[in-house]
Every structure is written in C-alpha cells, then in structure tokens.
C-alpha cells in the first residue's frame, strides 16, 4: 500500500513539474536603487567578510540574535525534515525513500504534496531549509547537485532558466536570493535581476566555507563575491537601513 501511495505521489508531482517547465519567464533587470534597496560593497584585501566586517564596512549594529518580527521559523522534525507553520497552513518536508541512487523528498502543505525533488546525501543533506517569505514557504534543496528554491510551489531555477538558485531570505517582505546563469552570479529581489553581475560567490553547505556563505540578518543581505578580479563583501539592504 505504501509503495502505491509513493508512486502515485511521484507520478502526480512529476506531471505538475513537466507543466511548469513550459511556463518559463525571463527576469526583468533593475538597479538596486530602482528596487528600493541600498547596495554597498567593501573591498577585501584578503580572506572573507563576516558580521564584524559588516559592522565596520556598512555600519550595521551588533547582532542581537533575536528573531525578526512578523516572520515564522521552521523547526526540525526527526533527523532530516523541516516543519513550518504560516498562519493556519502547515508546510513540511518529507524524506520518503530512494529512487536509483537518489533520495526522494517532497514538500507538503496541509499534508497535500506540492513539490517533489531528488537529491543525494553525500557531505550534507540535500534538504537545506524551509523559510517563511512574505507568508509563503521557500524550500531550499540541492537537486541533482544544483541548488534550487521552491517558492510558493514553483521551482525558481526552472522557472527562470537558472543554473543555480540559493540562499533565500525575507528582505523587507520580499524574496531575495542569489542565482547563477552561465558564467554570471547575481541577486534576484522581488522577481527582478539586480545589477551588477559577479564572477563568483562564496557558497557552501558544510565545512569552513559555510561560515562565509550568503545570508540575511536584521534586514541586510550579505555575501562574499568576486567582481573584476577583486574580492568584495557585499550588502543589499532596505533604504532605511
């Protein structure tokens, strides 16, 4: 019986995924200022930027460790799943078995499956996190060695024809994340591709590099990157920051 349910879920969501593949769109390009953000960068002589350097470079306050107002936070369920309550809706990731050499996961809303992903459990779990962004679930998952974000049930890597989509954050009530397309990395905010482009972004899910990976805190989105052959620590924040 469990096998029948498993394959029914897989078949249903694969059909939905195929339909979504035909509904791709281009990201409109915008400057950070036109999108209502402040963009700053700090040239690094060596090493990587961290929150202390963010205080020195951008004048950010000391991190408080407090949760941000108006945002729901997920909790771990078991060893490898997340549960997120947004209002009356309950979102949860489920690891349900293996398919060839891949682990099968799906995301449910109120127990109804809305997305299925295949990933490998090597140095870390492919199930990265589940976040609340503007009242919608943002699921970060490493699918076939390529990170993607499932936002409001849509696979953003597929929707915008990206090579990678990672590190989602709720910035001023809108989704911000980093993306790669061909040889360029860039920030996507509120459905717009923001300038400038970058040559590389420090990004990892384990080990030392994880400490310098992109992330948001207290209304600022920070990451380490390379542009024109030089290393920078970059911040995107709301104009009131």
How many Å apart are CA 56 and CA 77, to the nearest integer? 38
How many Å apart are CA 184 and CA 180, to the nearest integer? 6
Q: How many domains in the chain?
A: 1
Residue 41 domain-assigned (yes or no): yes
pLDDT of residue 51: 81
Tens-digit pLDDT profile for the chain (241 aa)? 445 555 555 565 566 555 555 578 899 999 999 999 999 999 998 888 888 888 889 988 876 666 666 678 899 999 899 999 999 999 999 999 888 888 999 999 999 999 999 999 888 899 999 999 999 999 999 988 899 999 999 999 999 999 999 999 999 999 999 999 999 999 999 999 999 999 999 998 888 788 899 999 888 999 999 999 999 999 999 976 5
How many Å apart are CA 180 and CA 186, to the nearest integer? 7
pLDDT of residue 179: 98
How many Å apart are CA 53 and CA 233, to the nearest integer? 8
pLDDT of residue 100: 83
- Identify any residues that bridge with 222 across adjacent strands, giving them in sequence order: 215, 235
Q: Say what percent of the chain tops pLDDT 70.
A: 86
Q: What does the CA dihedral 90, 160, 26, 194 come to, rounded to 10 degrees?
A: 80
How many Å apart are CA 100 and CA 123, to the nearest integer? 19
Helix and strand totals (H; E) in the chain:
3, 19
pLDDT of residue 1: 47
Coil, helix or strand at residue 176: strand
Residue 76 domain-assigned (yes or no): yes
Enter the tokens of residue 234: 């970059």
Residue 123 domain-assigned (yes or no): yes
Q: What pLDDT digit, counting tens, does each position of 125-134 carry?
A: 999 999 999 9
Residue 203 domain-assigned (yes or no): yes
Residue 20 domain-assigned (yes or no): no
pLDDT of residue 213: 94
Residue 19 domain-assigned (yes or no): no
Instruction: Classify strands 192-198 and 200-201 as parallel, antiparallel or unpaired.
Output: unpaired
Residue 24 domain-assigned (yes or no): no
Name the residue range of residue 53's domain. 36-238
Give yes or no for a contact between 105 and 94, defined as CB atoms under 8 angstroms apart. Answer: yes
| DSSP label at residue 63 | P
Residue 115 domain-assigned (yes or no): yes
Enter the tokens of residue 58: 């951008």
Q: What does the CA dihedral 121, 217, 173, 29 come to, rounded to 10 degrees?
A: -80
Enter the tokens of residue 196: 């400038």
């Amino acid at each position: 019986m469990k096998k029948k349910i498993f394959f029914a879920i897989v078949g249903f969501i694969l059909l939905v995924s195929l339909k979504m593949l035909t509904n791709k769109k281009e990201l409109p390009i915008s400057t950070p200022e036109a999108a209502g953000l402040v963009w700053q960068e700090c040239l690094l002589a060596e090493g990587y930027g961290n929150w202390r350097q963010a205080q020195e470079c951008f004048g950010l306050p000391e991190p408080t460790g407090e949760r941000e107002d108006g945002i729901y936070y997920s909790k771990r369920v078991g060893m490898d799943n997340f549960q997120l309550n947004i209002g009356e809706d309950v979102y949860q990731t489920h690891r349900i078995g293996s398919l060839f050499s891949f682990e099968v996961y799906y995301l449910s809303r109120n127990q109804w499956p809305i997305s299925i992903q295949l990933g490998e459990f090597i140095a870390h779990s492919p199930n990265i996190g589940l976040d609340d962004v503007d009242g919608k679930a943002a699921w970060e998952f490493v699918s076939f060695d390529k990170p993607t974000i499932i936002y409001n049930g849509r696979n953003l890597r597929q929707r915008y024809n990206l090579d990678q989509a990672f590190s989602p954050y709720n910035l001023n009530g809108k989704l911000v994340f980093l993306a790669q397309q061909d040889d360029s990395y860039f920030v996507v905010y509120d459905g717009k591709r923001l300038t400038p482009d970058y040559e590389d972004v420090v990004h990892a899910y384990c080990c030392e590099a994880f400490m310098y990976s992109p992330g948001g805190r207290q209304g600022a989105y920070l990451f380490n990157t390379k542009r024109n052959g030089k290393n920078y620590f970059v911040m995107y924040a709301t104009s009131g920051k």
